[in-house]
Amino acid sequence: MSDDVQHALHEAIPLLAPVTDIPRVEAEILLGHLLGVNRAMLIAHPERTIPPDKLAAFHNLVRQRAEGCPLPYLTGRAEFYGLEFHVTPDVLIPRPETETLMDLALAARPRSVVDVGTGSGCIAVALAVHLPQATVYAIDISPAALAVAQENVERHGVADRVILMVGDVLGPRPGPVDLVVSNPPYIPTGECGSLPLSVREYEPCLALDGGPDGLTIIRRLLAQAPAVLRPGGKLLIEIGAEQGEDAVNLARTFYPKATVRVHPDLAGRDRVLEVQT
C-alpha cells in the first residue's frame, strides 16, 4: 500500500467492498483509529504521510476486516444508546435492536435493576447513566466478559452504582429489585451454524446459543426472577423475532396473574417480552 492517506484509502476500499456497504467509511475509521485522528482530519489532509509501522498495521487491519472480522473488534469500540463502549471478542457487539429494551427499561423508572448476561455492560451502564438514582446489578457467567464490563463501568463513571457479579442467570440472588432486564442468548442451537460468518466465527458462542429451542436461559430467568423481584416488579427480556408467541406462553405458565406482552423493535419485529407482575 502507498504511504499517504489518499493512496492507502484508495487501495483499501476495493478490499473491503465485499464485506461492507460502506468501504470508504470503514477504511477511514480503521486508519483514523491507528493514527489517533478522526475521519474529518483524514479527509482534510489526504496528502499526509503514514509512518511505515502504521501503514503495516493498517494493512493488517484491512486484511482482518476483509476476512470478516467485525469492525468494532478491530477498533475496540462500539456505540450503544449514544454512549461509546469498549468491546473485545469476549463480548457480544451491542446491537441497535437492544435499544428497544433500553427504552422500555428507562420508561419503567426503576430504582434498582438486575441485568442478566451483561456482556460488555452496555445495558447496565446505559441504565446507570440515565437513571442517576438507580443501583444496577450486572451478572454474567463469563469472567472475561465481566472484565470488559468493568472497564466500561469505570469509563462512564458509574462504578459506585453498577455491581458486577459472576454467576449463572440469577444465581447470585441480588436485590430485591424493581426490574429484571436481560438480553440473553436466544438463538436456537441448530440455527447458530447459519448465522452470518462475521457473527458465528467471531462473536462468543456463549452470547448467542440459547439451547435447543433458543429459550433455555429465558425459561430459567422466568423461573428464578420471583426470588429477586419486589412485589409488583417487572421483567423485560429481549427475544428473537420468531419467539414472541412461545415466550408469551412460557411467561403465562410461570406468571398466570401477570400482564404479559411482547413489544416490537423499530423494524416492527417481536423483540421484548414484558412481564408486569
Binding site for ligand SAM (CB under 6 A): 91-92, 94, 98, 116-120, 122-123, 139-142, 145, 168-169, 183-185, 206-207, 217
| Cβ nearer to ligand SAM, comparing 112 with 152 | 152
| Cβ nearer to ligand SAM, comparing 100 with 277 | 100
Non-local (6+) Cβ contacts of 158 within 8 A are 125, 128, 129, 136
As to burial, measured by CB atoms within 10 angstroms (0-12 exposed, 13-18 middle, 19+ buried), residue 162 is buried
CB of 144 vs ligand SAM, minimal distance in Å: 9
| Cβ nearer to ligand SAM, comparing 239 with 251 | 239
CB of 3 vs ligand SAM, minimal distance in Å: 38
Phi first, then psi, for residue 14 (nearest 5°) are: -65, -25
Strands 162-166 and 270-276 come out as: unpaired
Distance CA 139, CA 102 (A): 17
| Cβ nearer to ligand SAM, comparing 5 with 169 | 169
CB of 183 vs ligand SAM, minimal distance in Å: 4
Residues 162, 153 contacting (CB under 8 angstroms):
yes
CB of 26 vs ligand SAM, minimal distance in Å: 21
| Cβ nearer to ligand SAM, comparing 12 with 139 | 139
Please tell me the total number of residues recorded for the chain in this structure: 277
CB of 275 vs ligand SAM, minimal distance in Å: 18
Return the C-alpha cell found at 273: 417480552
User: Which helix (H) or strand (E) segment is 162 a member of?
Assistant: strand 162-166
**Alpha-carbon distances, residue 260 vs 51, 85, 182, 187, 253 (angstroms):** 59, 32, 16, 22, 11
CB of 54 vs ligand SAM, minimal distance in Å: 31
Residues 224, 255 contacting (CB under 8 angstroms):
no
| Cβ nearer to ligand SAM, comparing 116 with 272 | 116
